[in-house]
Structure 1
Amino acid sequence: MRNIVLFCAAGMSTSLLVHKMKEAAAKENYDCKISAYALASTKDKGPEADMILLGPQVRFSKDKVEKDCPGKIIECIDMQVYGTMNGAKVIAQVKKALGD
């Protein structure tokens, strides 16, 4: 099971995207756990992730997240994909990055 962690400003705006991602993963039989947290919790929640995704509003923090979570795959979610809450496209991004 893959552990996918999303970070945004407060952990709230990604909740709908998490729901859409879970729906898309279920349709594809992709075994994963998906959670969203505030950016302030990267040191606590990031190390347990297989993949870290950053919401567009916190993409400027990628360098800090890389320092807090060395060795982790960290990518930013495309602004248009995020805006349309396209869970299937985010799952495709995750699978490509992880080689699944």
Structure 2
Amino acid sequence: MKFPVIIEAFPETLAGEKGQNADVVLLGPQIAYMLPEIQRLLPNKPVEVIDSLLYGKVDGLGVLKAAVAAIKKAAAN
């Protein structure tokens, strides 16, 4: 199945503003400590931390698969 994706990166200081328009918000492992704060800013959005192994290997496809899984999980709840 193919579908269009738009991937954008922003500093964590813009999470509340930019995250409103996102289907999923992914945090880099280096700011995993901010997960609870970002989840509070975006209570109706799936917010996840990118797996550090995927991040380290620059595995874009793996990260995309994780993002799609997070969106599906949020839609099921």
TM-score normalised to structure 1 length? 0.67
Q: Calculate percent identity across the aligned residue pairs.
A: 29
Q: In structure 2, what is the equivalent of residue 23 of structure 1? A: none
Q: Which ranges of 4 or more aligned residues in structure 1 deviate by more than 3 Å?
A: none
Q: Count residues in correspondence.
A: 72
> Larger relative CO (CA 8 A, sep 6+): 1 or 2?
1
After superposition, residues 1-100 of structure 1 pair within 5 angstroms as 29-99=2-72
In proportion to residue count, which structure has more strand? 1
Q: In structure 2, what is the equivalent of residue 12 of structure 1? A: none
Segments of 5+ residues of structure 2 without an aligned counterpart are 73-77
Q: Per-residue deviation at 1:69?
A: 1.0
